Amino acid sequence: MDGISDESPTEAKKTKSKTPRKPKETLLKQKSPAEFFAENKNIAGFDNPGKSLYTTVRELVENSLDSAESISELPVVEITIEEIGKSKFNSMIGLVDRERVDAALYDDYETEKAREKRLAKEARAQEMQAKNVALGKKVKETHAPKVGRGRGEASFYRVTCKDNGKGMPHDDIPNMFGRVLSGTKYGLRQTRGKFGLGAKMALIWSKMSTGLPIEISSSMRNQNYISFCRLDIDIHRNIPHVHLHEKRENKEHWRGAEIQVVIEGNWTTYRSKILHYMRQMAVITPYAQFLFKFVSDAPDKNVSIRFARRTDVMPPIPMETKHHPSSVDLLLIKRLIAETSKQNLLQFLQHEFVNINKSYAERLIGEMGPDFSAKTTVKSLTSQQLVRIHQLLRQAKFDDPSGHCLSPAGEYNLRLGIIKELHPDMVATYSGSAQVFEGHPFIVEAGVSVGGKNVKQGLNIFRFANRIPLLFEQGADVVTRTAHKRINWSSYKINQIQDKIGVFVSIVSTKIPFKGTGKEYIGDDITEIASAVKYAIQQCCVQLKSKIVKKMLAREQQERKRNLSKYIPDASGAVYNVLKEMAQLHAAKKIRYGDDDVELLRKVSENLITKETLTEKLAKHVEQVDYEMALEYATQSGVSEEPRETIYIQSLDAQNKMIDLQAPFFVFRVFQ
């Protein structure tokens, strides 16, 4: 029949399926910064629950130190980690606990066969232990078998950090915590942080792992109220979601900030890292007081450590500086032009860069070509002209930037921190002058200690960048490689394997050249920094060698004196017996002696010279010989006196007005 297809229904379907489909239009999507960092949280150090707990503590502590130091206030930081059990966490989020109905459904379910196998293994272990006890062998204490934790079970912690810093403006708090990539650390200066991510990443991790908001309390100087804010973050829109934002009464006139966040974490695996971090922070900031607490339902797990302040001398606040012309790129030049208040090219070069004065700026403009003049308006420069300026700035010669904008810890604080936390037998410190890497100034400080409490044998490396401890990825770091491979410790009378050696290196700069996204180590491929680190450690070792040699000579001197003194009683007894026999022979007129000898023998006969007298005289002679040998050594080596290590620490209770005159390794204080 016309108009009717002869194809079967199946064939018709096949024909239909082969019809090409139109591709869907590709939609352009955009991610917010918060969404990006939530998906790539390892960039900010939130790799896993344990590392996230450590990073949260670290970021909150460093923000607190920055806040107090910015107003020249001696920092007091209280950090508390409170363990939250599953039931308590469920009640916090309004979830009712539910008993398991189908146990086999869960990841930690143990089958009957697996249970029998485990019990048999435990029985064999107990039987072996009983045999060892019967044979009198030492037996390790057996612990209760660990109960397997399912993948779905997590540990939660409330982290609270309280400080005495400057606080935060009431209206700025939501954006300071709820908007990623907004912060106050974007100028060119030495800062502990760089991206403004710290507390915000803790908030993002809290939202991902618990869904609970962050709580902030803050009060500024001359402010009669406390700002309280409870908020979380809208990940997709990168804006704060405020639950509560109010002003509360400040009866105690408290000033500072307190941040509280509930996150998933792992205290068990990262306990040592967190405590190690707090100890290293106490070394590099001895002017701060830290109180660290871990609170758990099990009292035996509780931890409370107070790192006391040992000085009230703080490093100067790092100053913001201008860019060095050799360190800028094309994009930065465009941004500086867009932000500058200067009208012409001459003023722009003079005021937006360091180390370019008027005459040098005129020489640079003359070198740029006929299209440029001192009065050229910077806003009118073309893209080609900007490229020409960039090329010239890269190729021209400029003086190195000074290190005045940097704020190193200082030898005084570094030495005091090492002594306070490690109690070494001896310590040496060194602070280098400012050097330059890619147009950025940097200073390397170092300390080397020998001996001490809680210090392992061999090299113990402590690394700091902009006065914050670096604990991870140590093996590839420039400090570790230099200490292990480039320092010949034996030439400084230090045993690299047996001695307890502490190596402390602090690097400060307007730009720390970290390797990797985690900002945990400084690469070994930067010649300027590697050389400066090696030289700083060597200078410490030279100081220590002098002390060690003198200590060895003093030990040898004591040993020699001890050996001589040991034979004094026998020698004096033998001499006295000989003199006594000689006196008896002289009395019998069998032997005649000279006048001096006769006088000596008379004193022996009349007991004016006894064995004790000889012992005393010999002891004095040993002392005199020992003193003369030490004096001869000092004259030859040019050493007049053993260098003193005494450090006088000012009481912090007394409130005095004073002026500090700071030098690299001491502080001279004038009381008014």
Q: Which residues are annotated as a binding site?
A: 63, 163, 184-185, 193-200, 519
Write out 92-147 in H/E/C secondary structure. HCCCCCCCCCCHHHCCCCCCHHHHHHHHHHHHHHHHHHHHHHHCCCCCCCCCCCCC
- Dist CA 486 CA 464 (whole Å): 19
Cβ proximity of 202 and 214 under 8 Å: yes
Element (H, E) at 349: helix 345-352
Cβ proximity of 271 and 50 under 8 Å: no
**What angle (nearest 5°) sits at the alpha carbon of residue 230, between those of residues 224 and 236?**
135
Which residue is listed with tokens 């609970």?
Answer: 212
User: Which two tokens mark 409?
Assistant: 């810890």
Cβ proximity of 441 and 403 under 8 Å: yes
- Dist CA 177 CA 216 (whole Å): 9
- Dist CA 447 CA 664 (whole Å): 13
Measured from the Cβ of residue 205, the count of other Cβ atoms closer than 10 Å reads: 24
- Dist CA 153 CA 653 (whole Å): 49
Binding site as annotated, residues for ATP:
63, 163, 184-185, 193-200, 519
End-to-end CA distance of the chain: 119
User: What letter would DSSP give residue 379?
Assistant: G
- Dist CA 218 CA 177 (whole Å): 13
